[in-house]
C-alpha cells in the first residue's frame, strides 16, 4: 500500500445529529432543530453509505430559551461532556 492509497482509503464516520428541545413559537414543534439535524444526517448517510448514523442528541444547551415553557436544557458543560 502506498501513502496515496492510505490517504484515499475510505474511513467510516459516525454522524451524530445534535439538536435541541426548545420553543420555536406557536407554529413549530419543540424538536425542530433535532428534526433538521436528523434529516441532514440521513442525507449525508445516503451520499456516504459507509458512514454510520447515531441516534440524535435531543436535549442540549438551550439556556437562552429557559424562560419559555417546554424548553429543556442540560447546560453547556454537560452538553460538551456528552459529545466529547
User: Tens of pLDDT along 34-72?
Assistant: 999 999 999 999 999 999 999 999 999 998 888 888 899
Q: Indicate the DSSP class of residue 45.
A: H
| β-strand partners of 83 | none
Phi first, then psi: give them for residue 10, nearest 5 degrees: -75, 125
Task: Tell the residue number behind the cell numbers 442540549, with chain if given.
Answer: 60
The answer to pTM > 0.85 is: no
pLDDT class for 5, splitting at 50, 70, 90?
Answer: confident
Kind plus residue range of the DSSP H or E element containing 42: helix 32-47
Helix (H, G, I), strand (E, B) or coil at 58: coil
Question: Which pLDDT score, from 0 to 100, does residue 43 have?
Answer: 98
Amino acid at each position: 500500500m502506498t501513502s496515496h492509497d492510505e490517504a484515499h482509503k475510505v474511513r467510516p464516520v459516525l454522524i451524530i445529529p445534535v439538536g435541541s428541545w426548545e420553543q420555536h413559537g406557536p407554529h413549530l414543534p419543540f424538536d425542530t432543530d433535532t428534526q433538521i439535524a436528523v434529516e441532514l444526517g440521513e442525507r449525508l448517510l445516503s451520499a456516504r453509505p459507509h458512514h454510520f448514523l447515531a441516534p440524535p442528541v435531543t436535549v442540549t444547551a438551550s439556556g437562552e430559551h429557559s424562560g419559555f415553557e417546554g424548553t429543556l436544557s442540560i447546560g453547556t458543560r454537560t452538553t460538551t461532556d456528552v459529545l466529547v
